[in-house]
Amino acid sequence: MSNSFGATSTTDDVLAGVDLKGKRVLVTGVSAGLGVETARALAAHGADVVGAARDLQKAEGATAVVREAAATSGGSLSLIELDLASLKSVRAAADALVKDGRSFDLVIANAGVMATPLGKTVDGFETQFGTNHLGHFTFINRIASLLKAGARVVSLASSGHRFSDVNLEDPNFETSAYTPFEAYGRSKTANILFAVEFDRRHKARGVRAVAVHPGGIQTELARHLDPAFIQGMIDNLNAQAKAAGADAFAWKTIPQGAATSVWAGVVAPVEEVGGLYCEDCHVAKRVEDASEVRAGVRGYALDPANAQALWALSEKMVGEAF
């Protein structure tokens, strides 16, 4: 695919000249960071944005900039309560949208947690797998009937998927030792596999799904990490980059981090990104060398059989077939 966008492109770069008036978009996680910027960029181009957040009071304050953008473009913003760590909340939010009946052109599954201490959701799932994957899995499947032909689903994954494949035998770490980043890796691999299987199931009716990695961004997502630990990871990445003759690690700004989400959701030719994993506004290459930790996607995260097996397990875990 040829385009002029890359790692330093921003949401405004990607959406330059794009008119989204009349388009209805849903973005989860609009109380901070990437979610707010994603919603702002879409609203600034005329989209009617539905923002979902666990803490509506926090989201109300954080999305003032989105409302300002919408006011000047003819777009709009409305908020709904959605706690992805509670299937009761997930189902209530989805049911309300279905009852409302208005369709969506784009859903961006942006919300998530990272490297949390060992814990469980309200329903007893390991926190990261339950929140990042099972919450979105249930929510998006429940509103799938609202996705019109031509609609897209963007599932925010991460380069962190390279920490671990999903574990279909022990998704809740009941028999294996818990480490925060292995759990994060499992959940992010699950986010990619969800896009793979959702795309397979819905593309015949013109609805496609794609997974994206936003890049390294300093947001609230890292609230559970010690700054010294983060610096150690960066030092390790830079040592590998130096050995490979590559550029040193650089943080992205939030507008740069949100760019791949809106690129994949609005701008990229859907037949070139559907069912795949994108980073830096392009389709990522498959990389199986475990020493490569900064770019590319592992084969297990795009494996159709793995995606179907995870789907079946997820249905069993949430007690609902889609």
Fold for the domain defined by 11-225+253-312: Rossmann fold (3.40.50)
pLDDT at residue 138 tops 50: yes
**Residue 223 gets which letter from DSSP?**
T
Give the model's confidence band at 2: pLDDT under 50 very low, under 70 low, under 90 confident, else very high. Answer: very low
Q: Is the pLDDT of residue 243 over 90?
A: no
Predicted local confidence at residue 115, as pLDDT: 87
The confidence score (pLDDT) of residue 16 equals 97
Q: How far is CA 165 from the centre of its chain?
A: 17
Tell me what percent of the residues of the chain surpass a pLDDT of 70.
87
Average pLDDT, the chain: 92
Q: State pTM to two decimals.
A: 0.91
Is residue 277 part of the annotated active site? The answer reads no
CA 207 to chain centre: 17
Of 178, 184, 277, 300, the catalytic one is 184
277 versus 240: the higher-pLDDT residue is 277
Q: Residue 183 and residue 166: Cα distance in Å, rounded?
A: 9
What is the model's pLDDT at position 4?
86
DSSP of 105-128: EEEEE-----SPPS-B-TTS-BHH
Q: Strand 282-283 to strand 208-213: parallel, antiparallel, or no bridges (unpaired)? A: unpaired
Name the β-bridge partners of 147. 104
Name the residue ranges covered by the structural domains of the chain: 11-225+253-312
pLDDT of residue 234: 57
- Strand pairing class (282-283; 277-279): antiparallel
